[in-house]
Amino acid sequence: MATFNSAVFQKYGPTQVEIETESTPGIPSYFISGIPTTENKALKTKVLTLLTKFSIPVPHRRVLTRVQPQLSGTTDSALDFALMASLLALSGISTTPNENEIYMGEITLDGTIRSTPGILALAIAAQETGFKRFFVAKDTAKMVATVTNCPVFGFAHISEYIAHCQHPRKAVHTTIIPQFFIPEPQAYSLISGQYTAKRAITLAVAGKHRLFLSGPPGNGKTLLAQAAAELQPPPTSSEFIDNQMIHTLVTKQNTVRLTRPWIAPQNATSFAQLFGANNTAEPCLLEQAHTGILFLDELPEFSKKILTALRVPLENHQLTRTIFHKEKKYPFDVTLLAAGNPCACGYYKVPGKECTCTLQSLTHYHSKLSGPLLDRFHLFTRMPNIEAHTLSQPQSTKSTTAEFNTLRQKIATARAHPAIKNYSLELRLTSSAKTLLNRAHEKLKMSARGYKNCQKVAQTIALVEGEESISADHIAEALQFRIQ
């Protein structure tokens, strides 16, 4: 009996599959159980054709291959390699593998071993369940080794695998993370003025703080959010793995993602699209934003149900989904940026503009943003209309690039600090800083959450400025970004 492991995509997501092949006395025949009837015949024909073509001797007996668990729905071709390997082992050409080995790949009728869509996600999921050696197609061996940090054996043809069984080759084994794409300051260089908002964006990205941008339309709120995406530092090793897993599950492509995600759903997006549907394991939009930026433009225009449901995952940094009646938890580590106008028409209390909203419309617009939701934001800034002389001033490309690179370096340094990684408070407050924060707490009637959030923003300011403790100046600046 020969037992091999593989993996496929099923409705619950990546699924580990055990392929067990044995021969018993009886009329020479070959059966496969555990695969849908519609695909069973085609797969069996392919396997038998390959065995004949490459003169692989199969015991002149009844041969049965069991696929466990039993697969439902359409299966992919990732099982081909494990099926062939199990028959080769039964024929004495290869040996039964260790428990920690897994085989994934499609085999064509000419014996070529090809990678299947989404194999990087399958490999990451397999590694998380304990597999430590991978047998895959040659063209994706290096990528699989990169995302799993495990020995990987790659083969372009089934004959190469047969040769490996007699004379084992060296595995591909790498810990090198790909060089990440560093964007040019395209959106950042287009922003005129708005220095306070630029500072807020810097602090939000550096400390993974939630930022709310408010102001009339046309003054750069969306542009600032796009600039924040440019300012993000490269991901850590663990963030890269999480990011790659989600990217591969969504695209089903075997490409390495070289940037952090930037997800900007429209306010007409449904609840199921944002939080995930019960009948699919495909990552929802909130999952896709993990390790990157989630930008919610026109926040008050989102449904009340969505805004209320956002509160728990934001606080816990975890998203809970129910998929086919099974509860699953996913990490939700994002930098949330939100934007909104003063009212539905956009010009409430804007100098020189006339607001056309009724009192009922104003009340409805602002009622969407509840106190518990707003209390979860760390930074607030208003973006006023930009003066004409500011817009007409020419901007030096060199100075903009230099400023951008300086900010990126400061952000990367702050992000590397354990306090930012763990959402904790680790820097010491000076006595004057503690006094100022306590006075502000009493005067502004801040909640306990608001008190801690203000302290965390001040800590980020200190880290961005390269300080080892939180001073009164840091607290004062953090208080300026509190909701007015």
Distance in Å from the first CA to the final CA of the chain: 72
Q: pLDDT (tens digit, 9 = 90+) per residue, 84-109?
A: 888 888 888 877 777 889 999 999 88
- The answer to whether the CB of 259 falls within 8 A of the CB of 181 is yes
Q: Is the pLDDT score of 179 beyond 80?
A: no
Q: pLDDT (tens digit, 9 = 90+) per residue, 328-351?
A: 899 999 999 999 998 899 888 888
Among 100, 96, 97, 98, CA closest to 128: 100
User: Could you give the CA distance from residue 306 to residue 283 in angstroms, rounded to a whole number?
Assistant: 17
Q: What is the pLDDT of residue 458?
A: 97
User: Could you give the CA distance from residue 292 to residue 286 in angstroms, rounded to a whole number?
Assistant: 10
| pLDDT, the chain, mean | 87
Share of the chain above pLDDT 70, in %: 94
Q: What CATH topology corresponds to 417-484?
A: Helicase, Ruva Protein; domain 3 (1.10.8)
Q: Is the pLDDT score of 200 beyond 80?
A: yes
Domain 186-405 identical in fold to domain 417-484: no
Among 72, 133, 123, 103, CA closest to 5: 103
Q: Is the pLDDT score of 398 beyond 60?
A: no
Q: Name the CATH superfamily, with its identifier, for domain 186-405.
A: P-loop containing nucleotide triphosphate hydrolases (3.40.50.300)
Sequential DSSP letters for 277-308: -TT--S--HHHHTTTSEEEETTGGGS-HHHHH
Question: Which DSSP state fits 54?
Answer: T
- The answer to whether the CB of 288 falls within 8 A of the CB of 244 is no
| Chain-centroid distance, C-alpha 281 | 14
Q: Which residues of 417-442 are buried (b: 16+ CB within 10 A; e: fewer)?
A: bebbeeeeeebebbeebeebbeebbe
Q: Which two tokens stand for residue 266?
A: 């429209």
Residue whose entry in the numeric block shows the structure tokens 């392929």: 19
Q: pLDDT (tens digit, 9 = 90+) per residue, 440-459?
A: 999 999 999 999 999 999 99
Across the strands, what pairs with 31? 64
Helices (H), 17-118: 37-53, 80-90
Q: pLDDT (tens digit, 9 = 90+) per residue, 266-282?
A: 999 999 999 998 888 88
User: Could you give the CA distance from residue 220 to residue 192 in angstroms, rounded to a whole number?
Assistant: 9
Q: What is the pLDDT of residue 256?
A: 80
- The answer to whether the CB of 365 falls within 8 A of the CB of 358 is no
Is the Cα torsion angle 352, 357, 363, 369 positive or negative in sign? Answer: negative
Q: What is the pLDDT of residue 152?
A: 94
Q: What is the pLDDT of residue 415?
A: 93
Q: What is the pLDDT of residue 298?
A: 93
Q: What is the pLDDT of residue 120?
A: 86
Across the strands, what pairs with 466? none
Higher pLDDT, 59 or 308: 308
- Please tell me the least confidently modeled range out of 57-71, 369-383, 439-453, 459-473: 57-71
CA-CA-CA-CA torsion for 463, 465, 469, 472, nearest 10 degrees? Answer: -120
- The answer to whether the CB of 275 falls within 8 A of the CB of 308 is no
Residue boundaries of the structural domains of the chain = 2-166, 186-405, 417-484
- The answer to whether the CB of 172 falls within 8 A of the CB of 210 is no
Q: Which residues of 456-480 are buried (b: 16+ CB within 10 A; e: fewer)?
A: bbbbbbbbbeeeeebbbbbbebbbe
Among 364, 121, 161, CA closest to 253: 121
Q: Is the pLDDT score of 141 beyond 80?
A: yes
- In one-letter notation, the amino acid at residue 352 is G
- In one-letter notation, the amino acid at residue 46 is K
Q: Which two tokens stand for residue 112?
A: 């070529």
- With residue 226 as reference, give the H or E element that holds it: helix 221-231
What CATH number does domain 2-166 carry, 3.90.15.10, 3.40.50.720, 3.30.43.10, 3.30.230.10?
3.30.230.10
Q: Which two tokens stand for residue 256?
A: 């390495």
Q: Is the pLDDT score of 12 beyond 70?
A: no
Using only the alpha carbons of the chain, give its radius of gyration: 28
pTM of the model: 0.83
* Triad 19, 23, 24: Cα angle to 5°: 135
Is the Cα torsion angle 378, 384, 387, 391 positive or negative in sign? Answer: positive
Q: What is the pLDDT of residue 391?
A: 61
- Assign 3-state DSSP to the chain and report helix, strand, coil percentages, each to 5: 45, 20, 40
* Triad 316, 449, 344: Cα angle to 5°: 85
Neighbours of 358 (CB within 10 A): 10
Question: What average pLDDT does this structure show over 148-157?
Answer: 91
Residue 445 CB-density burial (10 A; 0-12 exposed, 13-18 middle, 19+ buried): exposed
Question: What average pLDDT does this structure show over 148-158?
Answer: 91
